[in-house]
Amino acid sequence: MAYDSVFKPGLFAGQTILVTGGGSGIGRCVAHELAYLGAHVVLVGRKLEKLESTCAEIVEDGGSASFKVCDIREEDAVKAMVAQVLAERERIHHLVNNAGGQFPAPLISINQKGFETVVRTNLVGGFLVAREVFTQSLCKHGGSIVNMLADMWGGMPGMGHSGAARAGMENFTKTAAFEWGHCNVRVNAVAPGWIASSGMDTYPESMKSLIRNLKEHVPLQRIGTESEVAAAIVFLLSPGANFINGNTIRIDGAASLGTRAWPLAKAKKSESYNGFHRAYMPDVFKE
């Protein structure tokens, strides 16, 4: 089987695209679609086993991929990683700034180390990778960057550290789009809502019931798929988005709109798109 993309085959033929957090979850799905569309995908992450597994999947499916183990929170490591990719591939055409992570906790339970760790991962790390990819490659040739946000528009209760970092990344996206546009570099972002991804299985037992009921708070009354996020990212990287710069696409079924005071009517069936042939349902939804 192959990835069932809505985009034309060969769209990124001959291009090198770097995907941080590419070993699992949404990043893994994005990497598979980009490889199916002809790109050589460079997977970046901290965990060797995940990177090796996803890289092997892509190669088995007939795609082209390699990987680099890197902690994006460390400036010197990011500089060296980007330089190594360029030594091997000569040019980076696009960046999917996907890596991130957080843990559920109310603000009063988050200590300084925990807050700073999440901000370093979701904001500082993204900045470092984007800056290095820009200064070492994109500023010479042009290209596109897509940053990863989240549904933090009305605050992010229970994950205030991540909400603060993602809000910062949205502003960074706008600033970079304006400052780097003269080099024909576009910088946009996506903001997924509740997506059926492997990350949902990392949350504690106490949150499982909440996760299973998330769809009740979405006007479409379902959660999204990794493929639906990947499709938005691929579009923003594509020539069809060449005049889109500094914007964020919300991928949340309109869950971030409206208020709790307005009741949701019973929804008609909303068809999900799942083009990822290697996708699997998170365990939390199997129980």
Convert the pLDDT of each residue in 5-43 to its tens digit. Answer: 999 999 999 999 999 999 999 999 999 999 999 999 999
Amino acid at 131: R
Q: What is the DSSP-derived secondary structure letter of residue 10?
A: T
Is residue 83 situated within a structural domain?
Answer: yes
Is residue 52 situated within a structural domain?
Answer: yes
Phi, psi of 18 (to 5 degrees): -95, 130
Kindly give, in sequence order, each residue whose CB lies less than 8 Å from that of residue 22, ignoring residues fewer than 6 positions away.
28, 30, 31, 41, 42, 43, 44, 45, 51, 54, 67, 96, 98
**How many domains are there within the chain?**
1
Q: Domain of 83: which CATH number?
A: 3.40.50.720
Residue 276's closest CA among 36, 15, 49? 36
Q: Which of 19-23, 124-128, 159-163 has the lowest mean pLDDT?
A: 159-163
Residue range(s) defining the domain that contains residue 179: 16-254
Q: Which pLDDT score is estimated for 264?
A: 83
Mean pLDDT for the chain overall: 93
- What would the two tokens of residue 82 be? 């980007």
- What would the two tokens of residue 94 be? 């696009």
**What are the residues facing 226 on neighbouring strands?**
none
pTM of the model: 0.94
Is residue 285 situated within a structural domain?
Answer: no
Q: Are 197 and 25 in contact (CB under 8 A)?
A: yes
Is residue 8 situated within a structural domain?
Answer: no
Is residue 155 situated within a structural domain?
Answer: yes
Is residue 233 situated within a structural domain?
Answer: yes
Share of the chain above pLDDT 70, in %: 99
Q: What span, in angstroms and rounded, lies between the C-alpha atoms of 90 and 171?
A: 30
Give 129's pLDDT tier (boundaries 50, 70, 90).
very high
**For range 178-195, the mean pLDDT:** 97
Burial grade of 57 (CB within 10 A; 0-12, 13-18, 19 or more): middle
Give 204's pLDDT tier (boundaries 50, 70, 90).
confident
Concatenated DSSP letters for 195-231? EE-GGGGGS-GGGHHHHHTGGGGSTTSS-EEHHHHHH
Is residue 275 situated within a structural domain?
Answer: no
Is residue 64 situated within a structural domain?
Answer: yes
Please say if the pLDDT value at position 205 is more than 80.
Answer: no
